[in-house]
Structure 1
Amino acid sequence: MSESVSAVEARQKLGELLNKVALMRKEIIIERAGKKIARLTPMGHQTSRPSGKLDFRKAAGLGKEVWQDTDVDTYLKKERDEWV
């Protein structure tokens, strides 16, 4: 999903726009006089249309660092105790 901004706004808020592109993976279209003149996209972003297919094999191992230092049994006991 892309967001459009004027060239003046892009100049004034470049840091904020770069954060949106890098962290939120948004595409920013820059316009001047109502005409699209540039596009900010995340590095490695495909400019062609996505195929619409999800490859869940690429998600293997995502988030494992979150649980790396956690004792699962202690965590589960704590969560279960909160429900009682």
Structure 2
Amino acid sequence: MKVISVMKVRQSLGQILDEVNLKSETFILERAGKPIAKIIPMNSEGPQGNLSLNLKALRDLKGLNPQSERSSDPSEWLDKERGEWE
């Protein structure tokens, strides 16, 4: 989470929106040193957005996601991952 002044937002709105959209960055806007607004990515709206992202990450980690390369043979994938750790 980044804190940024309203004046800075006026000067570089495009860049800030790119960071929010592409990097899922969150910004707190300040005026006179006081927070007045927050810019957050659309996919993190409310608790459901974060929950679905977390569930997808868990499925990928456990190899339960059909699109995950890990779902084919967990022991093969685990051996490959362990080899990269060393």
TM interval, short-chain normalised: 0.5 to 0.7
TM-score (normalizing by structure 1): 0.58
Alignment of 1:1-84 (within 5 A): 2-46=1-45, 54-55=54-55, 56-57=58-59, 60=65, 61=67
SS state of the match for residue 20, structure 1? helix
SS state of the match for residue 10, structure 1? helix
Q: CA deviation at 1:44?
A: 2.8
Among the aligned pairs, what percent are the same residue?
A: 32
Aligned-pair Cα RMSD in Å: 2.5
Q: Hey, what's the Cα distance between the residues in 2 that align with 1:43 and 1:37?
A: 19
Q: Hey, what's the Cα distance between the residues in 2 that align with 1:62 and 1:32?
A: 45
Count of residues in Structure 1 that have an aligned counterpart in Structure 2: 59
Identify, as 1 or 2, the structure richer in helix: 2
TM-score (normalizing by structure 2): 0.57
Q: Which runs of 4+ in 1 moved over 4 A?
A: none
What 5-or-longer segments of structure 1 have no aligned partner?
A: 64-84
Q: Hey, what's the Cα distance between the residues in 2 that align with 1:8 and 1:62?
A: 44
Aligned residue type for 2:7: V
Distance 1:30 1:18, change over 3 A: same
Aligned residue type for 2:17: L
Q: Hey, what's the Cα distance between the residues in 2 that align with 1:26 and 1:18?
A: 9
Distance 1:44 1:29, change over 3 A: same
